[in-house]
Amino acid sequence: MLRTKITNRLLIVILLIIVPPTTINCQLATDGNILSFQNRLRFGNYLYYEKDYLRAADEFKEYLRSESNDTIVFRLANSYFQIGRYTEAANNFKGLFFGSQLSEEARLMFYESVFFQNDYKLFRVLAEEQNFGSSIYSKDIERLKYISYFLDNSRLPEENLVLKSFPDSVQSRLLNFYQQKKFPKYKSITTSVILSTLIPGAGKIYTGEVGDGITSLIATALTTYLAITNFKADHQFRGWMFSGLAAFFYAGNIYGSAASAQIYNARIQFNFDNEVRLFFEHRNYFLPKIDY
């Protein structure tokens, strides 16, 4: 913390020396006290517009020690939001819920901060309780609630409730996501095991690993054949050796088929999660852009 404060003071001094005041929207006053609260505010705003949110937050905190300013509280909270410190962002947005002209915007940003903590169950509890709800942005919060169902393992609400919260232009795509999540195209581990028990390699073929399935079938069949022929030729040692190999390949084929089904399902889930997240991220989760 001390190191950060020293760094910020040096930045202020350097800024005053090398940057002409007319080139900065948020000019630093040269009144003899470059570390005054007003200068901290001006420098904080400059950093904020430059998207240097971490150092901007430090300057805003120092300013708020002496002055009360809802816009700066909002910028402080948004600085935390922009650098991924969502818990601190949510706590600061809550301070604007009552008696502030930014109350509605702060409430929406509070819900966004909770949402991006990835605790979607907590988010839905808060959204449904509506203790901190916004009259202006209620539809945005509700839409964010339905988005959260696509991002975790919770059971989806009714299809019409989900779709009607989104623009018509994306409803067909969302319907596709809805169907994929509700009826994922998983492979049954039980079916895979039964198939490989009956026909070695069949379980892997079922999960799309055709090459491995054929290899398992050949390895099991060949070692079984060699075991039988060696026993018939009264070569006991080689007979038992190939019998052991045949048992090994057979058991490995069953285990491998179960693992193959699990991997297949994990890949389906990963691809779905990635596609859904990119879809919403690309559209900024259908959220309005708010900045002050």
Same domain, residue pair 128 and 50: no
Is residue 100 included in any domain, yes or no?
Answer: yes
Same domain, residue pair 95 and 162: yes
Same domain, residue pair 51 and 101: no
The confidence band for 21, taking pLDDT boundaries of 50, 70 and 90, is very low
Mean per-residue pLDDT, 201-226: 94
Q: Residue 30 pLDDT > 90, yes or no? A: no
- Residue 38's Cβ-count burial label (10 Å; 0-12, 13-18, 19+) is middle
Mean per-residue pLDDT, 270-281: 97
Containing structural domain, residue 15? 1-67
pLDDT digits (tens, 9 = 90+) for 103-140: 999 999 999 999 999 999 999 999 988 778 888 999 99
Check residue 8 and give its pLDDT: 52
Domain termination residue (choose one: 129, 157, 183): 183
Domain termination residue (choose one: 20, 38, 67): 67
Is residue 253 included in any domain, yes or no?
Answer: yes
Task: Tell me how far apart the alpha carbons of residues 188 and 260 are, in angstroms, rounded to a whole number.
Answer: 10
Same domain, residue pair 177 and 239: no
Same domain, residue pair 162 and 97: yes
Check residue 34 and give its pLDDT: 62
Same domain, residue pair 178 and 197: no
HEC string for 11-48: HHHHHHHHCCHHHCCCCCCCCCCCCCHHHHHHHHHHHH
The confidence band for 141, taking pLDDT boundaries of 50, 70 and 90, is very high
Is residue 292 included in any domain, yes or no?
Answer: no
pLDDT digits (tens, 9 = 90+) for 35-79: 687 888 999 999 999 999 999 999 999 999 988 999 999 999 999
Closest CA to 159 of 172, 246, 252, 245: 172
Q: 18, 37 in Cβ contact below 8 A? A: no
Mean of the per-residue pLDDT values for the chain? Answer: 88
Is residue 81 included in any domain, yes or no?
Answer: no
Check residue 36 and give its pLDDT: 80
Is residue 78 included in any domain, yes or no?
Answer: no
The confidence band for 33, taking pLDDT boundaries of 50, 70 and 90, is low
Closest CA to 153 of 174, 182, 179: 182
Count of domains for the chain: 3
Same domain, residue pair 99 and 179: yes
The confidence band for 28, taking pLDDT boundaries of 50, 70 and 90, is very low
Is residue 79 included in any domain, yes or no?
Answer: no
Better-predicted residue by pLDDT, 30 or 115:
115
Domain termination residue (choose one: 142, 157, 183): 183
Check residue 9 and give its pLDDT: 53
Check residue 24 and give its pLDDT: 42
Check residue 224 and give its pLDDT: 93
Say how many C-beta atoms besides its own lie within 10 A of residue 105's C-beta: 21
The confidence band for 2, taking pLDDT boundaries of 50, 70 and 90, is very low
Query: Residues 6 or more apart from 36 whose CB is under 8 A from it?
Result: 29
Is residue 285 included in any domain, yes or no?
Answer: no
Same domain, residue pair 178 and 199: no
Is residue 288 included in any domain, yes or no?
Answer: no
Mean per-residue pLDDT, 160-177: 95
Q: Residue 18 pLDDT > 70, yes or no? A: no
Same domain, residue pair 175 and 200: no
The confidence band for 17, taking pLDDT boundaries of 50, 70 and 90, is very low
The confidence band for 23, taking pLDDT boundaries of 50, 70 and 90, is very low
Mean per-residue pLDDT, 240-257: 94
